[in-house]
Amino acid sequence: MNNFNKTFEILISSFFIILLLTSAAAAESDFQNREFLISAAEVHQMIQEGKGNLKIIDVRNSTKYLLGHLPQAVNMWNDDFSDPEGWVQGLIAKPGAFTATAQEKGINNDSEVILYDDNNGIWASRLWWVFQVYDHQNIKVLEGGYDAWENEGFDSKIFPHRPQKGDFIVSDVINQWIVNSDTIAENLDNQDFIILDTRSEAEFSGAETNSGAPRKGRIPNSIHLKWNEVLTENYKFKSAAEITEIYTAKDITKDKEVIAVLSHTGVRAAHTFFTLKLLGYQNLKLYDESWVGWSSRTDLPVEKK
């Protein structure tokens, strides 16, 4: 009996230790806005259940889409949510144009939208930001993207999905999520106005740049943190605690007046915007003109290392 009691006590103790460790790990990985993310298994279950308002958008180029995509997924790529007449490349599409595209893709006002790209979420995050600016809130990003779907062994489709026309309409614009060049310039010396550059080290230093930007370098007093520092090697998000530590080390904290995020054309910046939203930051703006806009204005200062 004594041996039995000791064994039982050991089992109970082990159970509670495992439970505590599991709870601690879960707490460490928790995001304040975890609902912005969804797993491949969860998407698969939603498809199997036949949810009527579910809409899935493949945010990759058309070639990749035709080589394999999630069931029911429609394809949207950069031109579908960018303004072709913008003064610099890559600006958010105008409300009317985005309404027409979303309707063509079968999106309704009550749709639960799932977005995915290859794996890192960079393009899915950009489209997530566009939908959010245009006040469509019921939207999630598939963590790990199409790679995660394939790794789970779920079935893919090759033929394009042809949905019925949707009734989505841009009814409001969340302008406070966008900041322009003039506002950035007015706050260069404002320590509570963080300018967060998410480009590569070579771009930030001025060693190189990409197409559309006539000048190399960075905005004075900007802080550099490459957009993918928050991802693991398999393109999943690091824990909330790890990511918070990464941002805090750069003094990118929730108490700042504004955190204005930029990249080359706002795509990488959208991923960082999405990440900070996961953590519960409220003081965010995306500098949509980004480096192509700043470098195109000869009246604005540029720094190099």
Phi and psi at 117, nearest 5°, equal -125, -150
Report the C-alpha gap between 31 and 247 in whole angstroms: 14
Q: In the chain, where are the structural domains located? A: 34-173, 176-296
Evaluate if residue 235 carries a pLDDT over 90: yes
pLDDT in tens, 138-148: 999 999 999 99
Given this model, what pLDDT does residue 17 score? 38
Given this model, what pLDDT does residue 3 score? 55
Evaluate if residue 11 carries a pLDDT over 50: no
pLDDT in tens, 47-76: 999 988 999 999 999 999 999 999 999 999
Report the C-alpha gap between 80 and 98 in whole angstroms: 7
Given this model, what pLDDT does residue 72 score? 97
Q: What would be the CATH architecture of the domain defined by 176-296?
A: 3-Layer(aba) Sandwich (3.40)
Given this model, what pLDDT does residue 2 score? 56
Q: What is the 3-state secondary structure (H, E, C) of 175-232?
A: HHHEECHHHHHHCCCCCCEEEEECCCHHHHHCCCCCCCCCCCCECCCCEECCHHHHEC
Given this model, what pLDDT does residue 169 score? 97
Stretch 88-106: mean pLDDT:
97
Stretch 104-130: mean pLDDT:
98
Given a contact cutoff of 8 angstroms between Cβ atoms, the answer to whether 197 and 204 are in contact is: yes
Given a contact cutoff of 8 angstroms between Cβ atoms, the answer to whether 295 and 210 are in contact is: no
Confidence of residue 305 (pLDDT cuts 50, 70, 90): confident
Stretch 14-39: mean pLDDT:
62
Given this model, what pLDDT does residue 5 score? 55
Evaluate if residue 227 carries a pLDDT over 70: yes
Q: What's CA 218's distance to the chain center, in Å?
A: 23
Phi and psi at 119, nearest 5°, equal -160, -35
Confidence of residue 282 (pLDDT cuts 50, 70, 90): very high
Q: What's CA 170's distance to the chain center, in Å?
A: 20
Inter-axis angle of helices 240-249 and 267-278, nearest 10: 120
CATH T-level topology, domain 34-173: Oxidized Rhodanese; domain 1 (3.40.250)
Do the domains 176-296 and 34-173 match in fold?
yes
Report the C-alpha gap between 188 and 32 in whole angstroms: 30
Region of 206 on the Ramachandran plot (φ > 0 left; ψ -120 to 50 alpha; else beta): left
Evaluate if residue 122 carries a pLDDT over 90: yes
Evaluate if residue 177 carries a pLDDT over 50: yes
Inter-axis angle of helices 240-249 and 2-29, nearest 10: 40
Q: Which of 94, 96, 301, 98 is nearest to 195 (CA)?
A: 301
Stretch 158-185: mean pLDDT:
97
Distances in whole angstroms, Cα of residue 127 to Cα of each of 5, 60, 183, 195: 59, 11, 24, 22
Given this model, what pLDDT does residue 9 score? 56
Evaluate if residue 20 carries a pLDDT over 60: no
Evaluate if residue 12 carries a pLDDT over 90: no
Evaluate if residue 222 carries a pLDDT over 70: yes
Average pLDDT over the chain reads: 92
Given this model, what pLDDT does residue 245 score? 97
In sequence order, the 6+-apart residues with CB closer than 8 A to the CB of 140 are 35, 36, 37, 38, 112, 113, 114, 115
Given this model, what pLDDT does residue 13 score? 47
Query: What is the identity of the amino acid at 242?
Result: E
Given a contact cutoff of 8 angstroms between Cβ atoms, the answer to whether 58 and 116 are in contact is: yes
Stretch 232-256: mean pLDDT:
96
Confidence of residue 302 (pLDDT cuts 50, 70, 90): very high
Beta-carbon neighbour count of residue 123 at 10 Å?
Answer: 25
